Amino acid sequence: MIVAGCDVGSLTAKAVIMNDNSVVAHEIIKIRATTVVSATEVMKKALSSSSLQFSDINYCCSTGYGRYEIPFAQMNMSEISCHGLGAFWTDPSIRTIIDIGGQDCKVILIDETGNVRDFIMNDKCAAGTGRSLEILAKTIGVELEELGPLALQSKKPINITNKCSIFMELEVLNHLYTRKKIRHIACGIADAVAKRVAALAKAVDVEDDICITGGVSKNPGVIRQLCQHMNVSFKSLPIDPQIIGALGAAVFAMRARQAGGNL
């Protein structure tokens, strides 16, 4: 049985294809002009890498901001439920998921079956998200992928006090103007994002074991600072943490197909 999950977010689109209970392919692309184009392209890439076609998919579940617009999906689920189930599927010991995406951050608590029992979400400002990191990386003249490793070169994060990404950018520009070292600024950027995520996590009863999902999970500078602010260690997942939402969607599709098309 071939099932698929498609997650179209604010910055990237992800696809996961499963055969029975195994992941056979996954892909990540930057979003295109429309949700339909993004979803179709990322799924085509995943299918191509596994020598499959759209007609081979028995059931597909969509998630993310664009989940209602994906034409080849038979069902959709919220990204909160999908990140919860996806993380649980990879490691049943997980009880807390911190999902740091392009435009929002979520702290999700799940029970012993992978179902969401509580969550909190910050979607009012991009200051603690991937989009903020993207803007600030550009401000200091480095690629987004370079920002995390650069931050790891410093243990002296420059204090960035503003909570708005626009004013954070101005603050970073001022640090550049006063010739602060780039690695300390990068560390300060990572620290500022980590502080906002840690503050959000304090609003719920975080339980071990904890994992990080979403694109920012690949920024080692943010993860190091977040470990310090939360005084915890995060579990490593056995699969790319950026595709956890799409994976959870694929697991929902599998369950729905096994239940005859009804979840």
Chain segment 158-207, per-residue pLDDT in tens: 999 877 777 889 999 999 999 999 999 999 999 999 999 999 999 999 99
Q: Which domains does the chain have, with CATH numbers?
A: 1-91+242-263 (3.30.420.40), 93-236 (3.30.420.40)
The per-residue pLDDT for 167 is: 85
For the chain, list the strands marked E by DSSP.
2-8, 12-19, 22-30, 59-64, 75-76, 96-100, 105-110, 116-122, 210-213
User: Are the C-beta atoms of residues 263 and 256 closer than 8 Å to each other?
Assistant: yes
Residue 95 predicted with pLDDT over 70: yes
User: Are the C-beta atoms of residues 190 and 148 closer than 8 Å to each other?
Assistant: yes
- Indicate the average pLDDT of the chain: 93
Q: Categorise residue 139: left if φ over 0, alpha if ψ from -120 to 50, beta otherwise.
A: alpha
Chain segment 42-75, per-residue pLDDT in tens: 999 999 999 999 999 999 999 998 899 999 999 9
Chain segment 197-230, per-residue pLDDT in tens: 999 999 999 999 999 999 999 999 999 999 999 9
pLDDT band at 127 (very low <50, low <70, confident <90, very high): low
Any idea what the Cα angle at residue 141 is, between residues 157 and 182, rounded to 5°?
Answer: 25
The per-residue pLDDT for 157 is: 95
Q: Which of 37, 36, 38, 45 is nearest to 16 (CA)?
A: 45
Provide the token pair at 22: 């195994």
Residue 261 predicted with pLDDT over 70: no
User: Are the C-beta atoms of residues 18 and 24 closer than 8 Å to each other?
Assistant: yes
The per-residue pLDDT for 66 is: 87
Residues in the chain: 263
Buried b (16+ CB within 10 A) or exposed e, 195-226: bbbbebbeeeebeebbbbbbbbbbbebbbbbb
Any idea what the Cα angle at residue 189 is, between residues 208 and 165, rounded to 5°?
Answer: 100
pLDDT band at 92 (very low <50, low <70, confident <90, very high): very high
